[in-house]
Amino acid sequence: MRIRQSLVTTAALCLVLIAASGAQAQTLPTTGKVETRFGTLELDNGFPTEKTVQKVYDEMDYQRAVQAYLWALPLVAMYEWQRQSHETFGAGNLDYVDYFDFKDKLGILTANATTPYAQAFPNMKETGPLVVEIPAGPTAGGILDFWERPLTDTGQTGPEKGKGAKFLVLGPDHPDMNPEGYIVVRSPTWNIWSGQRGVGDDVEKAKTLVAGMRIYPYSQRDNPPAAKPARPGDKKWSAAQPHGLDYWTGLAKMIDEEPALERDRLMLAMLKPLGIEKGKPFNPDERQKKILIEAALVGEVMARTNSYAKRFEGARVWPDKKWEFSLFLENVTQEAANYTQLDERGSWFYEAVGVTEGMLGRTVGFGQVYLESQKDKDGNWLDGSKTYKLIVPANAPVAQFWSFSVYDNETRCLIDTGGHPDRSSRDDIVKNADGSVDLYFGPTAPAGKEKNWIKTLPGKGWFTYFRLYGPTQPFFDRTWALNDIDLGQ
């Protein structure tokens, strides 16, 4: 019997090995072993052994946690920025935080260093329906839910077309209302984000404009409370998704606060064995902690790969250039015809925040286009210890302005060198006789090129966004093309 059992086991194992080497099918042995990428799995009389049961559940929970990390990127980013606004800057539930200079913005994912921002993260459970008041003038932004999907654009690409408006935001369970004088939108989440920026040519006027943004309860519309905007100042902070167990703590908090959306029910089910469930405290045991901490680490490597080595069809802007579209969503809902754009939204929300119709860059003369490069002309990753040159051709296709910003590829925030990490057509930069502009990137400025230089840090990688504010037709028909970043100029 032992010889026969041994022969059966050996034959079954051979079938497994043959299948692994390319045969058409693999069947589980009744009794024997299966070699997998996460180790050996053993079966005894058709059942998994006790050791295999534990290994399989650990792997199942780990795989689900890694994918949940990618799925949750936009929600956890909103949680962290809201937390920083309240706890680090002292902003109240209805207060904007104003980000006027590049030092204010050092904690924001891929911020524009020269464009003034005003950002607020109110929770409507505490306030009831809210009024978001947008002043007239050249602004761009939106009101978004906490999955970073816009309820509406605001400003030049909003329904008010830059003429100013009062938006009434209703929460998930608020009764319908449509009062005169308001643009009414409804959020599927209780927490919302009002993200606004000034885009006029005069930066000081743009600061004054965004400082006039207001949020207040609809119930207090006849006597709104005074705005109390905050500023980051010299505080160290980051709006990036937190690391390790803190990532899951933030996610658990948001899942508990917000309604479960229909599209997310399967993912929410996958999180239950990891201790993350609506209505229950997040108190993971040691096994769950170990899995979650490793999943956050591997999940971030996947997120970084998905962002910096995009495999989306059509990601390249010009076929012979290294420039890619940063924002690769079909629409602001993050939904394609037959699926939710999981990888596409993960690529964007790992390195950036927010999306509006205007940010999709599809309106001639208005909105924004975001182009990204992490590689030089020869296809090598950009290195902070090296010097590069980029020639911006004349007649850039913008109705407003263009800008180049340099980012730390680990924090995804503006590179912190103590100097200005951005050069823009609004700056006092040196132009060539033909109208083109030479930009330089490196640890030290080439002699006489300081006005056109952005400092980088040796020992660190970097990437850049080229933004077109008010893209014009030569961009859309590709008759104007941006050069690649070239080494050693």
Average pLDDT value for residue range 99-123? 94
Mention every residue, 6+ apart, whose C-beta is less than 8 A from residue 147.
74, 75, 78, 189, 261, 334
Tokens for 82?
């809201």
Residue 201's pLDDT band (cuts 50, 70, 90): confident
Q: Residue 55 and residue 487: Cα distance in Å, rounded?
A: 49
What is the spatial distance between Cα 19 and Cα 2, in angstroms, rounded to a whole number?
26
The answer to whether 482 and 392 have CB atoms below 8 angstroms apart is yes
Q: Which residue has the higher pLDDT, 202 or 186?
A: 186
Rounded Cα gap, residues 345 and 72, in angstroms: 10
Q: What are phi and psi of 352, to 5 degrees?
A: -155, 175
pLDDT band at 2 (very low <50, low <70, confident <90, very high): very low
- The strand pair at 437-442 and 453-455 is best described as parallel
**Per-residue pLDDT at 488:** 76
| Per-residue pLDDT reduced to its tens digit, 274-324 | 999 999 999 999 999 999 999 999 999 999 999 999 999 999 999 999 999
Closest by alpha carbon to 405, among 395, 387, 417? 417
Q: Hey, is 83 helix, strand or coil? A: helix
**Alpha-carbon distance values, 177 to 128, 220, 478 (Å):** 13, 16, 45
Q: What is the mean pLDDT of residues 440-447?
A: 96
Q: Is the dihedral of CA 317, 467, 397, 386 positive or negative?
A: negative
Among 5-9, 183-187, 253-257, 380-384, the minimum mean pLDDT is found in 5-9
3-state DSSP call for residue 400?
A: strand
pLDDT tens across 450-465, in order?
A: 999 999 999 999 999 9
At 489 the pLDDT is 62
pLDDT tens digits for range 21-80:
444 568 999 999 999 999 999 999 999 999 999 999 999 999 999 999 999 999 999 999
Which region, left, alpha or beta, applies to residue 317 given φ > 0 means left and ψ of -120 to 50 means alpha?
alpha
Per-residue pLDDT tens for 330-347? 999 999 999 999 999 999
Q: pLDDT band for 468, please (50, 70, 90 cuts).
A: very high
pLDDT of residue 258: 98
- Residue 257: both structure tokens together: 């606060």
Do 454 and 421 touch, CB atoms closer than 8 A?
A: yes
pLDDT averaged over every residue in the chain: 93
Helix axes 244-257, 73-87, angle to 10 degrees: 90
Asked if residue 114 lies in contact with residue 404, where contact means CB atoms within 8 angstroms, the answer is no
pLDDT at 1 over 50: no
Q: Can you give the pLDDT at residue 227? A: 86
CA neighbor of 419 nearest in space, from 403, 437, 443, 398: 443
Looking at 159-231, which runs of residues are DSSP E strands? 165-170, 183-186, 192-198, 214-217
Is-contact 86 79, C-beta < 8 A?
A: no
Residues pairing with 33 in the sheet: 42
Which residue in the block uniquely carries the two structure tokens 């980012």? 407
Looking up tokens 């490069």 gives 373
SS3 content of the chain, % helix, strand, coil (to 5): 30, 25, 45
Pairing of strands 388-392, 486-487: antiparallel
Range 12-16 contact pairs with CB under 8 angstroms and sequence separation of 24 or more? none
Is the per-residue pLDDT at 144 higher than 60? yes
Q: How far apart are the first and last CA of the chain?
A: 78
The answer to whether the CB of 244 falls within 8 A of the CB of 289 is no
* Domain architecture of the chain: domains with CATH: 2-48 (no CATH), 89-220 (2.60.40.1610), 309-487 (2.60.120.600)
Query: In sequence order, what are the beta bridge partners of 153?
Result: 142
Which phi and psi angles does 249 have, rounded to 5°?
-60, -45
465, 359, 360, 399: which is closest to 112 by C-alpha? 465
pLDDT at 410 over 50: yes
Mean pLDDT value across residues 399-417: 96
**What percent of the chain is modeled with pLDDT above 90?**
90
Sign of CA dihedral 65, 69, 70, 71: positive
Nearest to 424 by CA among 265, 203, 107: 203
Q: In what order do the strands lie in the sheet with 139-145?
A: 97-99, 117-120, 192-198, 139-145, 150-155
Residue at 231: amino acid letter: R
Note the pLDDT tens digit of each residue in 12-35: 444 344 344 444 568 999 999 999
